[in-house]
Amino acid sequence: MKTTLKSILPASLLQTARNAYDGLRRIPELPAAYLHPWRHESVRRLTELKDVHKGKRVFIIGNGPSLRQTDLTRLKHEFTFGMNRIYLLFPELGFSTTYLVSINDLVIEQCASEMTALGLPKFLAWRSHRHFPANLSISQLPTFLYTTYTGPGFSRDVRGRVWEGATVTNVALQLAFHMGFQQVVLIGVDHNFTSKGDANKTVVSEGDDPNHFSPAYFGKGFRWQLPDLDTSEIGYSFARDAYHKAGREVLDATVGGRLTIFSKVDYNSLF
């Protein structure tokens, strides 16, 4: 029988070791993360966005297959966060989301040029800045967030450290809080993947993508990481509690979604 650290160490000790390793590994990143002019510009933008949508409603659009059962045309005049490759839907919809959020390094590495071409505000993980040319104009420059894998928590102000919570949706929830949104509605957050395997394992798609709204989303040859649904639920719980404490709410209007953290609501009843 193969012996591994995971089988020897208690879960809490193993997580502490992971946190320590991640912290040490990222020390070389810190000077650039805080002193780079792109980070300065990002913090300036985030300062302008603090509570800019106070009291408003926003939809956070996941990328699950249930989007094909959701009338997205109703969102044309709503505030929306799209994530990762949601822009594949834009030509079909005839409009774009208000914002785009992406934090996974593999996704950004493979899609950086596509994201750069989008004419909407983009929020990306700082570590991905290396995938963009140094001569990007200010208008093309994404807003970079200093996201981390470890140290679970919920950031009410995203100018500092932001825990990823194993899913870009958790980062979008923190951005929405920072911007002051009163009500957040999740759609397309199916919380269910056909592809199975170890959480965070990197795999290469061998054909059409069955886990998202389009078979081309992570199509043949695309490198991606298997989901960590357990950790994402921890992040969702932090978000639910933070919004509740602030007198705000997160609702889940995903058609057939398996997430049970947030109060469910019928999508069509919201209009």
Element containing residue 37 per DSSP (H, E): helix 37-49
The yes-or-no verdict on residue 147 having pLDDT over 80 is yes
In a domain, 6, yes or no: no
Q: How many structural domains is the chain composed of?
A: 1
Partners of residue 79 on adjacent β-strands: 58
5 inside domain? no
> Is 1 within the bounds of a domain?
no
- Please give the residue range of the domain that contains residue 84: 12-270
Choose between 25 and 149: higher pLDDT. 149
- Summarised one tens digit per residue, pLDDT across range 91-144 is 999 999 999 999 999 999 999 999 999 999 999 999 999 999 999 998 899 999
Predicted confidence (pLDDT) per residue in 12-70, tens digit: 554 455 555 555 555 555 556 667 899 999 999 999 999 999 999 999 999 999 999 99
User: Would you say residue 3 lies in a domain?
Assistant: no
On the 0-12 / 13-18 / 19+ scale of CB atoms within 10 A, 173 is: buried
Q: Which of 145, 110, 101 is nearest to 131 (CA)?
A: 110
Query: Under DSSP, is residue 61 helix (H, G, I), strand (E, B) or coil?
Result: strand
Contact (Cβ atoms closer than 8 angstroms) between residue 212 and residue 218: yes
Query: Alpha helices, DSSP H only, in 69-216?
Result: 90-93, 105-116, 168-178
pTM here is 0.89
Q: Let me know the angle formed at the C-alpha of 48 by 43 and 52, rounded to the nearest 5 degrees.
A: 130
In a domain, 176, yes or no: yes
Residue 7 lies in a domain: no
Q: 91-98 contacts: CB < 8 A, separation 24 or more?
A: 96/120, 97/61, 98/58
Q: Which residue carries 């002019």 as its tokens?
A: 37
Residue 233 lies in a domain: yes
